[in-house]
Amino acid sequence: MVGAGRPLSLGAKGAATTLPHLIRSDQLAAVRRSVLLSIPVNVVLGITSALVAWNSGQTKAGLIWFAASCVPNSFRMMLCRLAETTNPAVVDRRLKLHSAAALSSGLVWAFIPTLCAGYTSPQTLFYLIVVCGITAGAVTHGFAYARIPIGFITPPLLSAAGCLFYAGGFDRICLGATVVLYLAALIRACREGEGLMRETSRLKNEATSLATSLEGAHVAATEIAEEMTRRASRDALTGLLNRSGFLEEAERRAAIAQSPMSLLLLDLDGFKAVNDTYGHKAGDNVLIEVARRLQLSLPSSFAVARLGGDEFAVLFEMGLVDVNPTLLAHELIAAIAIPFAAFDAGRIGVSIGVHVSTAPAIDEMLISADAALYAAKLAGRNRCYVFDAELAHHLAMRRDIERDLGKALAEGGLEVWYQPVMIDGGARFGGFEALARWRHPRHGWISPPDLIASASLAGFGEQLLRFILSDVCVTILAMREIGLADARVAMNVSPREMSQIAVDELVLKGLKARGVPPAMLEIEITEETALDIQAVRGKLAALSEAGVSVAIDDFGVGYSSLGALRRLRVDRVKIDRIFVEGVSRSAENRSLVLAILSLAGPLGFEVVAEGIEHQDDLETMRDLGCKAFQGYLIARPMPRNEALRWARTHARALPGRPAPRR
């Protein structure tokens, strides 16, 4: 190995150039590149800060500050434009000038508090984010020569911490302390970064000068490759394993497992609403915080990953730790449920699917845990569900359905049944809900939700939608013939079809081709669909303008906002059965129902109570002011002809009297 002071090459004038001089030259070249990259960002953030100052009435101060920031920036750019040199004295002098210029720029940024009343004005959050962002960027780009980023970041961060300490208050003092810790961490990162850069430069220069250093260069290259591989397996936002990294790690653990493996799949509740309301930056902060809470709550031996979006995974071998998966799931639910500082309490939750396997096959575990997660979601937010025999049967059934559904659609094996909706307090027939049914040769009657979900996953969603629409059109025309033209028929559209298919064009063309009045059709979507306003608003608006009604099904289990109800022109809201069943005995459910009913008038929609199965629930809903009902107590789903006879019988029931049970 070459000594630190041993000459490696000759300079332009014949003077020996030592290894430290070559490293210094590499540092200067890296500094020039990093400054050329960072100055434009500095200028853009400076302009933005000045604009915010102008908007907040600090125009003069903002302009003075921005003008001051341009001086060191211009000098730094000028330094970067100087001709390259390997002269040791010149290199050292330029590095010192770059350091002084960076310190000057940092001192200008230290005066940011003058634009926001010492970080106490409403613009404080913006300026803090800008300062933290630009200092982090300086460290990221300034790894080659630590004095430069340290000189730049120290004044503004100390200024911010000092202002926060001076302002007082527990929150500001804690934030000021955090800024100091942040500064210390950045300084350490700068020094370590410079050390790594110098080491890389040393290896490079020795490798180009001495054949004996080839082996060392190969080792360095191998280390870099390993680091790149590690980064490829990590989620850039949270630092957790990403999907590919998790699958690789899971396969490795499964191959050597001596005891059952437990997999937890986590999906955040309410995350999309946060993204829509506060923006994607806030959503990213939520994901980072969730990852942090997971790491704090779990042993380091667990494999923790962000699989994508707002979905996380936890994997561990049960024989190695004394942890009950169900209890662990509840602990994680409690950890995530702790209010986030920037949002309303209770806005973010998590649903968890749990699967334990004695013969771990990762693909099967993921499928099973996903089924359990779906069951947890159906049960409401902040729930966990353990994969069991019932879910295993349901999963096998779903696979059979997906396999056989195409043939059934082609051969006319599906039917559409109709369940009545009673209005005017249950006294008069108000319409039907169309429910697709299929008698599977092995599993018997398949429920409408399972059928729609399976069709969507198997790629038959549009074909099933066309089939239901065709049958519904026949039913509507039959209703007109028997004098029921004032009633509607509702058909369900799944979230996937609503977002991926031109539902408005399909429906309106189908109605026109068959001569069916749009006013007699109702499209039912779930709250999940309603949340994705950008994807569905235009389609629902086209349907609504044509006269088709819009209803939100299973209302109350999701996170619809009042704005979404208004913007989507909702005509009908169907309260989910979990709030209707037992409402006569649940004060909490009665309060929720009253809240929904109180919105009906101002927002102009009708409220339907789903799942009416008991007389006392019907009477309670009536007493609360609900006037439309659907459920087995009213009538079960029926084939078309039977449903039409039922409707004609109950079209003019006595006022105030509920329809009899079938």
Are β-strands 606-609 and 628-629 bridged in parallel, bridged antiparallel, or unpaired? parallel
Phi and psi at 651, nearest 5°, equal: -65, -25
Task: Decide: 525 and 493 in contact? Cβ < 8 Å.
Answer: yes
CB atoms within 10 A of CB 544: 18
Phi and psi at 357, nearest 5°, equal: -125, 130
Task: Decide: 591 and 620 in contact? Cβ < 8 Å.
Answer: no
Token pair listed for 168: 């007082």
| Rounded-to-integer distance, Cα 571 and Cα 538, Å | 16
| Rounded-to-integer distance, Cα 421 and Cα 487, Å | 9
| Rounded-to-integer distance, Cα 492 and Cα 435, Å | 8
Q: End-to-end distance of the chain based on CA atoms, in angstroms?
A: 93
Active-site pick, 26, 267, 276, 310: 310
Q: Please name the helix (run of DSSP H) or strand (run of DSSP E) that holds residue 17, with its range, or none.
A: strand 16-18
| Rounded-to-integer distance, Cα 385 and Cα 264, Å | 10
Packed helices 389-410 and 362-378: angle between N→C axes, nearest 10 degrees: 90
The β-bridge partners of 303 are: 315
Closest CA to 281 of 149, 132, 177: 132
Residues 6+ apart with CB under 8 A from 215: none
Closest CA to 145 of 193, 187, 189: 193
Say which amino acid occupies 263.
Answer: L
Token pair listed for 169: 């208050």
| Rounded-to-integer distance, Cα 335 and Cα 268, Å | 12
Residue with tokens 């990403």: 242
- Assign 3-class secondary structure to 219-233: HHHHHHHHHHHHHHC
Q: How many CA atoms lie within 13 A of 301 on its CB side?
A: 9
Closest CA to 179 of 165, 191, 190, 168: 165
Task: Decide: 590 and 624 in contact? Cβ < 8 Å.
Answer: yes
In 225-339, which ranges are E strands?
261-269, 303-308, 311-317
Residues 6+ apart with CB under 8 A from 325: 262, 264, 318, 354, 356, 386
Active site residue 553: no
| Rounded-to-integer distance, Cα 293 and Cα 240, Å | 12
| Rounded-to-integer distance, Cα 581 and Cα 616, Å | 10
Task: Decide: 416 and 471 in contact? Cβ < 8 Å.
Answer: yes
Closest CA to 80 of 44, 33, 38, 148: 33
Q: Which residues are catalytic?
A: 310
